[in-house]
Amino acid sequence: MKNVIEKIFGTKHERDAKKMQPLVTEINEYFEKLKSLSDEELQTKTDEFKNRLAAGETLDDIMTEAFAVVKETCRRHLGQTWNVCDLPTEWNMVPFDVQLIGAIALHQGRITEMATGEGKTLVATMPTYLNALTGKGVHIVTVNDYLARRDREWMGKIYEYLGLTLGVIQNQMTNEERREMYKCDITFGTANEFGFDYLRDNMSQRAEDRVHRNFYYAIIDEVDSILIDEARTPLIISGQVESSVHDRYRQMRSTVDVLVRKQTMLVNDMLAKAEKLLASGNSDDGFEAGILLLAASRGAPKNKKLMKTLKETGMKRLATDVESAFMRDKKLHEIDDRLYFFIDEREHSIALTDKGTSLLSKDEQKLFEIPDISTMLAEVEGDTSLSPEERQQKTDEIYRVHSERSEKVHAINQLLRAYSLYEKDVEYVVQDSKVMIVDEFTGRILPGRRYSDGLHQAIEAKESVTIEAESQTLATITLQNYFRMYEKLAGMTGTAETEAQEFWDIYKLDVMVIPTNMPVIRADNNDQIFRTRREKYKAIIDEINEKHNKGQPVLVGTISVDVSETLSRMLKRAGIPHNVLNAKQHQREAEIVVRAGEQGSVTIATNMAGRGTDIRLGEGVVERGGLHIIGTERHEARRIDRQLRGRSGRQGDPGSSIFFLSLEDDLMRLFGGERLGRVMDRLGVQEGEVITHKMVTKAIERAQKKIEAQNFAIRKHTLEYDDVMNVQRSWIYERRLEALERESIKDEVVDLIEEVLDELIDTYCPEKAYPENWNLTGFIDELRKIYLLTLQFKEEDIPSLTREKLKEQVHGAIMHIYSQKEMAYGEEIMRQLERYAVLSTIDRHWRDHLAEMDELRTGIGLRAYHGGMGKPIDIYKREAFRMLEELSTTIDREIVNLVYKLQISMPEKSRAERRREQEAVASHADTTGMGYASAVQAPAGAPQEKNPMAEASQAGKQERTYRRKYPKVGRNDPCPCGSGKKYKKCHGAGE
Ligand code: ADP
Ligand code: MG
C-alpha cells in the first residue's frame, strides 16, 4: 500500500525536494547575475544584507540571494590553495543543486541526510553565512577537535572574504581565548566543549569570566553520533569528595565472591545435568534440560561452558522455548528461585533471590531489609506520645537507616553486575592498577572516564585494585537539554533516517533525505554467516588477501580495539601490510584514512576512526572495483553499519561492501541467536559451512530494530529524569546569573530579608494560634541566629501582640542592623558581600542538591522494585519538587544570614573552595545505560497523579503554608516541579 502511494506521489523527501526546486532556480538566477560584480561589490553584499535585515526584512526573504553570494564566492576561489591543518589544499567546490537543497533544509532547522562524500561541509556554509548575518553567533558542532579546526580552516577563506569573523574552540584553550572565539560571527567546536563551557559559565564567580554569548543557531555535523550516541550519557563536571562509600565495596566484596562462586558451581552442575538429560533423548527430559539451560543463562550469561552448549544445534531454541512458556505463565520467578541471584541481560536487571539472601549471615540479612519509608513515617506521625523533638529525631533516623540500607543493596547489585556482566579486556581493561573503560562504540580506551553509580568502584573491588574516591557532581547537563537551548537547531549526517522518530520526538528535528549528486553504484553484498568467530576471522583474512592481491583497497570496520588487534595480528602473520586506526589521534588518523582508497591499501578502523575524512580513490582503483568495505560484526544500530558501508561509493565511485558474522557475536547471541539457530537447523547447515541467506539478514535486522527501540527507551528515560532537573537547573542558573551580572542586588537582598522574616513569623507565630501559644523562644532564637538580633519580650506584653506589630518591630530592627553594616563597610563592599553571599550559597547548596537528586533516583529505583508506590518517575517528580522547595527556603535563609554574618575579609574564596574548583574535572562518562535500569524495568504501578503540594504539606511541616518560593517563574513559564505544564496551570494555579 505504502509503495503504491509512493509510486504515485513520490516519497515525502521527494516531495520536499520538489517544493524547494523553485528556490534552487532562484538561487542560480541570482548567482548568474553576480558574476559581473567586482570583488568589492560582491563583498559589500554582507553589509547590504545586514542593513536590509535591520530595515525589517527576514532571513527567509534574503535567503536565496545570500546563498547565491556564497556560491559565487566559492566560484571565485576555484583553483586557489590554502593550508588546511597544515596541508596545502586546493579549493575545487561550487555547490551543486542537491547541495543547495541541503542548505535550505539546514536553514529551515532540519536534519539533512546526505551520503558520505556529498560535501556536507560546503553545504553548511550557506545557512551559516545567512544566519550569521544576525550577529547573534552561529555554532558549528563537530565530533572532534581536529574536525573543528579543519572545517574552520577549509571554509574559512569563503567566510572571511565575505567579512565574517571566525573562531574555533580547542580543548586546551584558556577562558580568555574561548571568550574571544565566542564573540565571533561563527564558532566551530565539539559538542563537549560547547556544553562544558556552558556548565563552567554557570560556576563562574565573576560575570567577566563567562565565555558563551547566545544560544542562537547550531548546525551539528555527524548529528546522529552527537545527538544519539553521545547523548546517552550526560556531561558532568565533578570534584572529588572524601567519603567512606568506597569502603562499602571492599567490605561487600567477599560476600559477593562467595555468591558468585556458589552460583558458578550451581550453574556448572545444571549444565552437567542438562547434558545427561539431553543424552537420554526422552522429550520430558528435553524440557527439563531446557529449564536447566534457561536457569543457567539467567544465572551466569557469560559462562564459557554455557555459551558452548548453547551454540550446539537446537540448544538456544530449546532454552528460548522454555523461556517463552514460563513467561507466558508468568512463572519466570520459578526459574530464578533455583539461583542465588539472577541476571536479565536484555532488561539490564540483576537481583538477589531468597536463596541468595539465605546465604548471608543473619546480621547481613537484616542489613538488606529496606524499610518502607511511607508506613514508618506514618507510624511516627500517628504516635501522639512523642514530643516534636522526638518525632523529628525518629524521622531523621528512619531516613538515615533507609538511605544506608539502600546504599548497601545498591553496592551488592553493582558488584554482582561487575562480576557477571563486565568482562576484563572486553568492557574494561586494567592498566597500571587502574580500571579503564573501553568505549563500546569506538573500542578505544577512555582514560579518566569512570562508570557512574558505583559500578566503577565495584569493578575496582573485583579486580582488587585501589578503589578511587567517588567524586561529587558540581554541574551536569544532558546533551539533549544543552542543544534544546538553541533557538534553532539543524544537523547533517549520512545516516539519520533510521532514527528519524527519535530526532522528532526529542528535538523536533525533521529528517530530510537528499538525493546524491551522482547515483550510488556501490554493490552491497549479502551477509556471510559462520557458526564460530574463529571461522569468521579466517574467512575475513582470506577475503582481504584476495582483494589485496588484486590491488583493490580494503577498509575493515570493527566494533572494538580488541577485534582490530586480533585481525592485525592475523594479517601480520599472513604478511599483508596494513594500518590500524582506533579513533585516538584524530589528525594523524585522518591523514592515514585519506589514503585508504589507494591501490593495495588495507586499513582496519573502529567505527569513529577517521570519520569525516574524505576517502578518494587512488589511481587505477576504479578499474579494480573501487574501495571494498568489510564489516566484521553487526553493530547494535543499523545506522552504524550503514555508516561503514557509506565509506565507499562516494560521488558515484564504484565500490562494494560485505559483512562477516558469526553466531558467537554478541548481537546474535543476545537477540537473534535462537531464530538464526532455527533457520540454520532448517537449512541443514553443517559445522564449518557458511550461509548467506536473505532470511538471516532479515532476522538480524529485526534484532537490531529491537535494540534500537530499547536504547531509545533508555535515552528517553534518562531524559525524562533530566527534564525534571532541567527546570530546576534553569531556575537556579537564572537566579545565579542575575546575582552575577547585576550591578547591585540590594533590592533582592532587602526583599529576601523581609521574606525570610515573614516565613519565620508564619512558622513560629501562626495566625491561628493565640500569642500566648506562639513559640516565641524559637522565634527569638532564629532571629539571633539569622539576623544577629537580640530581642526580648516582657511577659505582660505578650497577650497584646499581633503578627503585624511583631513584624513591624522586628523588621525595623533588622533593617537598622543592615543599614548600620552598610554604612560601616561602605556601599561598594556591601554590594560585593551580597553578591558573594548569593553565589556561594547557591553553589554550595546546588551541589548538595545534585547529590541528593542522584540518591533520590537510585533510591527510587530500589523502592519501586520493592513495592508499588506509583510510577517511579512520578515519585521522582514529586520528591524532587519537595526538595527544590526546601532548597529554596534554605538558600534564602542562608543568603540573608551570610549578609548579616560576613566579615570584611570574607569575600575572598575559602582555600578549600578554590582548591576544589581547580581540581574539578569535566567528564562525559559512559553509564552504559545501567544507571537507570531498575527504574526502567520497575513494574508500572497505577500512575497516580497526586498533587505534590498536598503531599508536601501532609508530610508534616505543620502549619507551614506554601509560599511563593519562585520569584522568577513567570505565569507562562514551565512549572519548576517538572510536570511540563505551565506554572499557572500547575503550582502557580492558586496565585
Ligand atoms: P561529507 O562531509 O558529506 O562526507 P565532505 O564535506 O567531507 O563530505 O566533502 C567530500 C568531498 O566532496 C570534498 O573533499 C570535495 O572533494 C567533494 N565535493 C563536495 N562538494 C563538491 C562540489 N560542489 N564540487 C566538487 N567537489 C565537491
Ligand atoms: Mg563530513
- Ligand 1 center to 462 CA (angstroms): 50
* DSSP assignment string, 690-709: -B--HHHHHHHHHHHHHHHH
pLDDT at 959: 25
Whether the CB of 93 sits within 6 Å of ligand 1: yes
Cβ-contact 409, 370 below 8 angstroms: yes
760: its cell numbers: 519565620
Asked if pLDDT for residue 297 goes beyond 70, the answer is yes
Among the ranges given (193-207, 480-494, 562-576, 761-775), the one the predictor scored with the smallest mean pLDDT: 761-775
Mean model confidence pLDDT for the chain? 82
The ligand whose atoms approach the alpha carbon of 102 most closely is 1
Query: Do β-strands 445-446 and 434-438 pair in parallel, antiparallel, or remain unpaired?
Result: antiparallel
Whether the CB of 161 sits within 6 Å of ligand 1: no
Average pLDDT over residues 462-484: 84
Closest by CA position to 96, among listed 31, 163, 161: 31
Asked if pLDDT for residue 980 goes beyond 70, the answer is no
Whether the CB of 615 sits within 6 Å of ligand 1: no
- Taking the C-alpha atoms of residue 176 and residue 523, their distance in angstroms, rounded to an integer, is 51
pLDDT at 742: 86
Amino acid at 511: V
Tell me the best of 67, 81, 96, 122 to mutate to test the pocket of ligand 1, counting ligand atoms within 8 Å of each CB and taking the most.
122
Region of residue 903 (left: phi > 0; alpha: psi -120 to 50; beta: else): beta
pLDDT at 870: 65
Asked if pLDDT for residue 793 goes beyond 80, the answer is no
pLDDT at 469: 73
- Taking the C-alpha atoms of residue 283 and residue 277, their distance in angstroms, rounded to an integer, is 9
* Tens-place pLDDT, residues 250-286: 888 888 999 999 999 999 999 999 999 888 877 788 8
Whether the CB of 906 sits within 6 Å of ligand 1: no
**Element spanning 603, H or E:** strand 602-606
Average pLDDT over residues 467-478: 78
Closest by CA position to 630, among listed 541, 731, 509: 541
* DSSP assignment string, 931-966: TTHHHHTS---------HHHHHHHTT-TT-------
* Tens-place pLDDT, residues 524-570: 998 888 888 898 999 999 999 999 999 999 999 998 888 899 999 99
Average pLDDT over residues 438-443: 72
* pTM exceeds 0.95 for this model: no
Say how many CA atoms lie within 13 Å of 55 toward its Cβ: 8
- Ligand 1 center to 117 CA (angstroms): 5
pLDDT at 954: 27
pLDDT at 164: 97
Whether the CB of 117 sits within 6 Å of ligand 1: yes
Among the ranges given (296-300, 680-684, 761-765, 782-786), the one the predictor scored with the smallest mean pLDDT: 680-684
User: How many CB atoms sit inside 10 A of residue 610's CB?
Assistant: 23
Asked if pLDDT for residue 369 goes beyond 90, the answer is no
Confidence bin at 294 (pLDDT 50/70/90)? very high
Whether the CB of 590 sits within 6 Å of ligand 1: no
681: its cell numbers: 537447523
Average pLDDT over residues 140-153: 94
Cβ-contact 211, 175 below 8 angstroms: yes
Cβ-contact 941, 871 below 8 angstroms: yes
pLDDT at 951: 28
Share of the chain above pLDDT 90, in %: 37
pLDDT at 932: 22
Cβ-contact 626, 654 below 8 angstroms: yes
Higher pLDDT, 872 or 357: 357
Name the closest-CA residue to atom 27, ligand 1. 93
Higher pLDDT, 204 or 627: 627
* Tens-place pLDDT, residues 601-611: 999 998 778 88
- Taking the C-alpha atoms of residue 548 and residue 336, their distance in angstroms, rounded to an integer, is 52
Whether the CB of 187 sits within 6 Å of ligand 1: no
DSSP state at residue 228? I
Q: Alpha-carbon torsion 917, 922, 927, 929, what sign?
A: positive
* Ligand 1 atom with least separation from CA of 118: 3
Closest by CA position to 98, among listed 20, 15, 9: 20
The ligand whose atoms approach the alpha carbon of 75 most closely is 1
Asked if pLDDT for residue 865 goes beyond 50, the answer is no
Closest by CA position to 225, among listed 570, 609, 568, 778: 609
Tell me the best of 27, 84, 100, 118 to mutate to test the pocket of ligand 1, counting ligand atoms within 8 Å of each CB and taking the most.
118
- Taking the C-alpha atoms of residue 955 and residue 378, their distance in angstroms, rounded to an integer, is 9
Asked if pLDDT for residue 720 goes beyond 50, the answer is yes
Average pLDDT over residues 651-666: 90
What does each C-alpha distance from 7 to 3, 511, 706 come to in angstroms? 6, 20, 29
- Taking the C-alpha atoms of residue 789 and residue 782, their distance in angstroms, rounded to an integer, is 9
User: How many CB atoms sit inside 10 A of residue 254's CB?
Assistant: 10
Confidence bin at 988 (pLDDT 50/70/90)? low
Whether the CB of 92 sits within 6 Å of ligand 1: yes
* Tens-place pLDDT, residues 928-976: 222 222 222 222 222 222 222 222 222 222 222 222 233 345 556 666 5
